Amino acid sequence: MKRCFALLAIVLVVAGCFGTRSRTDVLLPAIEVAWPQVRVEAIRGGLPEVTADNFGAALQDGDATTVTVTWPAVQSAAEADIRDRIDAGLVSAGVASSLYERLKNIDEAVELLKQRPP
């Protein structure tokens, strides 16, 4: 019986590792594709460069914990920039909806990362 539990535990741990690997191997590179554009928005929106650098490094290093912890600040700053650019007439409301959609998608990806942090 103990052997069965041990085997079951090993299987669950291995399955958990696959889930975590999938999240970091897929979601972080996907976010990384969008990061250069979001970084520009976030810095214009007031995000400190050091925070942006940390977020970028975390994406590259596969550090999901730092990504999930830092994301709210990045998101707030990027949203502030989009609002400012709408007010300044630099982007239309339609274009802004595309930019907001990107932040929403990243937020959804970050939520997935949170569900099973590595």
Partner 1 sequence: MPITQCLAMKVARCFSTTPYKEIRMAKDKVFIDLEDNGTVEVSPQLVDLTAHMVSRQLVAFAEQTGRSLGNDAKVIGAYAAQRAAVLATLVDQPGFEDAVLAERDNVVIKAGIAATKRGDAIDQRLIGIIQGTLRTAAVMLIA
Q: Where does this chain bind partner 1 (CB under 8 A)?
A: 18-19, 22-23, 25-27, 29-31, 33-34, 37, 85, 89-92, 94-99, 101-102, 105-106, 108-109, 112
Polymer length in residues for the chain: 118
Looking at the Cβ atoms of 6 and 21, the one nearer to partner 1 is 21
Looking at the Cβ atoms of 21 and 53, the one nearer to partner 1 is 21
Looking at the Cβ atoms of 60 and 97, the one nearer to partner 1 is 97
Q: What is the smallest separation between the CB atom of 27 and partner 1, expressed in angstroms?
A: 5
Q: What is the smallest separation between the CB atom of 116 and partner 1, expressed in angstroms?
A: 10
